[in-house]
Copies of this chain bind each other. A is one copy, B any other.
Amino acid sequence: MSNKIYFTPGPAQLFYTFEEHLKKALFHDIPSISHRSADFIKVVQETTESLRELLELPDGYNIYFLNSANEAWDRIVQNLVDNSSHHFANGAFSQKFYDFAREHRKSSTLTRVNDGAKFTEWNVPDGAELIGVTKNETSVGYSFLEEELENLRNRYPKKLIALDVVSATPSLPINFKNVDTAYFSTQKAFGMPSGLGVWIVNERCHEVALERAKLVSLGSYRALPNLKKFGDKYQTPETPNMLYIYILGRVVKDILQAGVQRMRNDTTYKAAILNQMIETHPYLDHFVESKEHRSKTTIVAKSSMSREILNFFQKKGLILGSGYGVHKENHIRIANFPTHSKESIEMLSDMMEKIK
């Protein structure tokens, strides 16, 4: 890797042990061994079990490997939505899940508030079979609260809840009991290259999929009953991204070893430093108005100087994220992931002070 530090919210800085595990993977010929071999089954099992421990998944929740969070949207709609899903959107990614459902010609509906604004209206149409919620809206740095999720669960106990945990997991604690399916790509908070997605699915989803499969197609190799058939044996239907599944397992073990609570405390500490810096900085302002909804993992500030600030840091080898989409020129985004040390965030914050 170069000497740069990426504070971009994904693709992101690689996890600090990534290269070490990559070397080991190559030494053990992970990319060349058979994906049906006992050795690789062991890899899938270890990665799955480590993830289960890290995420504190309840019993009855399965883990499957996809290639991206985009694919998770695709597969969730294909497998679990007959006529309609409902989506809570206040940014580009939560909106996109809805767009995907519409592209699948579902009669899906949307609660859309302004980017980064708080949801105040919680009605979901009777016809919606699944509710799409985004734990951490990476595009604008908005976090859905655990109690909001729980309220939604209590209000609509019969509907499936799909939670986007991209750039939230593993930094933010999530009560997976309140959701039926969740998903993330690994190039954000896990510090992996892009090309691997993780899909978490509970028994209710499997039941829905089995029921639907009697009447309609759920796709092919990644139809849920097929993923389960192979997944129950720690296998995958196709030759998966073996190298990344191996490395992800190792990264997860490192996070467990260093202590999940410590990592989360550090996340809170680093977020506090960045938030305080924004509050006192003449050229920066929080974008998300509701303090409690500000993301700890994706710190987003609005600034009329964003281009200049990004350039200033880039010259020093620190790569901050620009705004997403329509906010490209007016926001800066700073990722606060497990691989970002307290020192690096303190340094970034100190340097930002110099721009005053």
Contacts of A220 in B (CB 8 A): 70, 73-74, 77, 99-100, 103-104
Q: List 19 A-B contacts (CB under 8 A).
A: A4-B32, A6-B29, A6-B32, A11-B35, A14-B31, A22-B22, A67-B67, A67-B71, A70-B238, A74-B222, A77-B220, A99-B220, A103-B219, A105-B216, A193-B241, A193-B243, A194-B240, A194-B243, A195-B240
Taking a contact as CB atoms under 8 Å apart, the answer to whether B1 and A26 are in contact is yes
Contacts of A6 in B (CB 8 A): 29, 32
Contacts of A13 in B (CB 8 A): 32
Does A68 belong to the interface (CB within 8 Å)? yes
Does A19 belong to the interface (CB within 8 Å)? yes
Taking a contact as CB atoms under 8 Å apart, the answer to whether A195 and B67 are in contact is yes
Does A196 belong to the interface (CB within 8 Å)? yes
Bound-complex Cα distance A223 to B240 (A): 21
Instruction: State the Cβ distance, A73 to closest chain B Cβ, in Å.
Output: 7
Cβ 8 A contact of A221, one of B1, B34, B100, B240 = B100
Please report which residues of chain A, range 1-54, place their CB below 8 angstroms from some CB of chain B when the two chains form the complex: 1-2, 4, 6, 8, 10-14, 19, 22, 26-35
Contacts of A194 in B (CB 8 A): 31, 35, 239-243
Contacts of A237 in B (CB 8 A): 70
Bound-complex Cα distance A244 to B243 (A): 11
Does A187 belong to the interface (CB within 8 Å)? yes
Contacts of A344 in B (CB 8 A): none
What is the number of residues of chain A that contact chain B, defined by CB distance less than 8 Å? 58
Taking a contact as CB atoms under 8 Å apart, the answer to whether A34 and B8 are in contact is yes
Does A280 belong to the interface (CB within 8 Å)? no
A 236-275 to B, binary, CB cutoff 8 A, 1 in contact else 0: 0111111110000000000000000000000000000000
Taking a contact as CB atoms under 8 Å apart, the answer to whether A1 and B19 are in contact is no
Does A151 belong to the interface (CB within 8 Å)? no
Cβ 8 A contact of A238, one of B68, B77, B193 = B68
Does A235 belong to the interface (CB within 8 Å)? no
Taking a contact as CB atoms under 8 Å apart, the answer to whether A242 and B11 are in contact is yes
Taking a contact as CB atoms under 8 Å apart, the answer to whether B31 and A239 are in contact is no
Contacts of A31 in B (CB 8 A): 11, 14, 187, 192-194
Considering the complex, give the chain B residue whose CB is closest to the CB of A319: B32
Bound-complex Cα distance A222 to B78 (A): 13
Bound-complex Cα distance A1 to B32 (A): 10
Does A217 belong to the interface (CB within 8 Å)? yes
